[in-house]
Amino acid sequence: MNKPLRRIAIFCGLLILTLLIRDNWLQYVKADDLATDSENRRVNIARYATPRGNIIVDGKPITGSVESKSGDYKYKRTWVNGPMWAPVTGYSSQAFGANQLEKLQDGILTGTDDRLFFRNTLDMLTGKEKEGGSVVTTLNAAAQKAAFEGLGDKKGAVAAIEPSTGKILALVSTPSYDPSKFAGTSDDDAEAWKAVQKDNNPDDPMLNRALRETYPPGSTFKVVTAAAALEHGVVSGIDEKTKTPDPYQLPQTTTDLTNQHGECKNASLRYALMVSCNTVFAKLADSVGNEGMIEQAEKFGYNNKELDTPVRASESVYPEDNAPQNAMDGIGQASNRATPLQMAMVVAAIANDGKLMKPYMVDQLKAANLDTIETTEPEELSQAVSGETAQKLQEMMETVVNDPQGTGGKAKIDGATVGGKTGTAQHGLNNSEKPYAWFVSYAKLSDGSAPVAVAVVVEDGAANRDDITGGGLAGPIARDVMQAVIDSKK
């Protein structure tokens, strides 16, 4: 072979080798990425070629599928009472993708999960159409309804947990949205999608306030400060005098902190929580110190960037701060920020004798033939406080509800023991905005079990400022959620 022909042969051989490498790269290395690429229309066509599996609450589906009237997608997602369940399910849209459980469990719901391979192979051999599996949640329908109806047209959120397991029983955010309205690809779907975007709707209905919004927790955080003071030996008994002046001068400043209610000078821990003395808890936070306060807050779940339910929750933050700011952090102000889920976790740990369980909302994943693919096992996150400290905190929180001077009387439930804490969190420049109303609580039955812990926050921009109190606005909502859970146990 002469020299020019040899060069051409070598060049052609290199081209063929390059093509083979490229072909193998696409088929074996990039195959999964291409198959799941959101820009690949075949992915969506396949996703909506058959009815999606359902998301289940109390044994009943809260989702469904209907045939599309036009377009390439055969089936469209539907929801039962979409606005109530959207904070749990998220949306699944032919045009706009998916989020939350609809996205995280898409493989199960579409029947494409690798764990369904054997089932799908049998169906293919028998000629049966592929079916999606189901996602069985931990949610309690009655509690969800009570929370949703309790918030009504107010802006806010509710999170309720079963303390002994971490099961999420209710997860509500208002205002909400109906994912059915933009599940398809029509012009109406596009308009409905635009209407719920934050740029077009200042109420931001697609924000999951229960999981993804952080608020100053206000006086509800005082139960954490009380826990830190007891665990660090700053106080030993809940009925001992705390040697607190009224007003209390914030450390390293000339600023006096005052109280809204009660006789807070030298008040005991029990009395201070009952009437919500700012001075007592700010002084206790200073005595524990910033490091000690961070340590205690983190035992309750703060500063956790990877809390998955399986939907990722925003990080609740107890910050590294100077002395005066740490004192204010200790009463739930300054840079202290928490999600409603986080504050439900705090109360759940107290009700569970100090043991904090990881919150979760998916109980089981099932195949179309109802075979169980996966079951979530309860997982302990930490021993937030000792059993002894938890009992003292329970005594204090029950006084808040049961004593005539307490701020949580509207949360009482006949036949149950309720412990609670109100909160009115200031925010805005120089506290100029209307405060957030909080209430956190748990309910115990006669057998000593605690079936539910709940946190409620109401932003309520429509209320008169003087009317905004955690006990007045949020307490009745918490009571109704707890009552719904208790009734479902009967």
| CA separation for the pair 156, 154 (Å, rounded) | 6
| CA separation for the pair 484, 480 (Å, rounded) | 6
Window from 281-290, 391-400, 469-478 with minimum mean pLDDT? 469-478
> How many C-beta atoms surround the C-beta of residue 472 within 10 A?
17
Higher pLDDT, 35 or 327: 327
Q: Is residue 4 part of a domain?
A: no
pLDDT at 373 over 90: yes
Q: Is residue 137 part of a domain?
A: no
Higher pLDDT, 22 or 400: 400
Q: Cβ contacts of residue 176 below 8 Å, gap of 6+?
A: 83, 84, 86, 87, 148, 205
Mean pLDDT for 135-148 is 98
Domains in the chain: how many in total?
1
Give whole-number Cα distances, 192 to 184, 270, 323, 336, 448, in Å.
10, 51, 49, 36, 48
User: Do 454 and 441 touch, CB atoms closer than 8 A?
Assistant: yes
Q: How far apart are the first and last CA of the chain?
A: 93
Ramachandran class of 287: left when φ > 0, alpha when ψ lies in -120 to 50, beta otherwise: alpha
Average confidence score pLDDT of the chain: 90
Provide the pairing of β-strand 355-357 with 312-313.
unpaired
pLDDT tier at 468, thresholds 50, 70, 90: very low
Q: Is residue 24 part of a domain?
A: no
Q: What is the identity of the amino acid at 170?
A: A
Question: How is residue 221 written in tokens?
Answer: 């955080």
pLDDT at 402 over 50: yes
Q: Which of 93, 219, 276, 287 is catalytic?
A: 219
Ramachandran class of 466: left when φ > 0, alpha when ψ lies in -120 to 50, beta otherwise: alpha
| CA separation for the pair 147, 439 (Å, rounded) | 13
Question: How is residue 228 written in tokens?
Answer: 């830190």
> How many C-beta atoms surround the C-beta of residue 424 within 10 A?
24
pLDDT at 244 over 90: yes
Q: Is residue 161 part of a domain?
A: no
Residue 324 lies in domain: 218-365+380-489
Question: How is residue 350 written in tokens?
Answer: 């107290």
| CA separation for the pair 115, 222 (Å, rounded) | 46
| CA separation for the pair 88, 147 (Å, rounded) | 13
Torsion, Cα 337 338 339 342, to 10 degrees, reads: 160
* Confidence at residue 28, expressed as pLDDT on a 0 to 100 scale: 61
User: Do 54 and 89 touch, CB atoms closer than 8 A?
Assistant: no
* Confidence at residue 466, expressed as pLDDT on a 0 to 100 scale: 40
* 157 closest CA partner among 457, 442, 414: 457
Gyration radius of the chain's alpha carbons: 27
* Confidence at residue 102, expressed as pLDDT on a 0 to 100 scale: 97
Mean pLDDT for 361-388 is 96
Question: Is residue 219 annotated as part of the catalytic site, yes or no?
Answer: yes
Question: How is residue 420 written in tokens?
Answer: 């609670």
Q: For 475, what's the count of Cα atoms within 13 Å in the CB-facing half-sphere?
A: 23
User: Do 94 and 44 touch, CB atoms closer than 8 A?
Assistant: yes
Q: Where are the beta strands (DSSP E) in 99-210?
A: 134-137, 156-161, 168-174
Q: Is residue 252 part of a domain?
A: yes
Q: Is residue 359 part of a domain?
A: yes
CATH number of the domain enclosing 472: 3.40.710.10
Higher pLDDT, 306 or 24: 306
* Confidence at residue 425, expressed as pLDDT on a 0 to 100 scale: 77
pLDDT at 469 over 80: no
pLDDT tier at 128, thresholds 50, 70, 90: low
* Confidence at residue 125, expressed as pLDDT on a 0 to 100 scale: 63
Higher pLDDT, 426 or 226: 226
> How many C-beta atoms surround the C-beta of residue 2 within 10 A?
6
pLDDT tier at 262, thresholds 50, 70, 90: confident
User: Do 162 and 169 touch, CB atoms closer than 8 A?
Assistant: yes
Q: Is residue 306 part of a domain?
A: yes
Window from 73-87, 103-117, 182-196, 244-258 with minimum mean pLDDT? 103-117
Q: Is residue 430 part of a domain?
A: yes
pLDDT at 465 over 50: no
pLDDT at 461 over 80: no
Sheet strands side by side (includes 168-174): 168-174, 156-161, 452-458, 436-444, 417-425
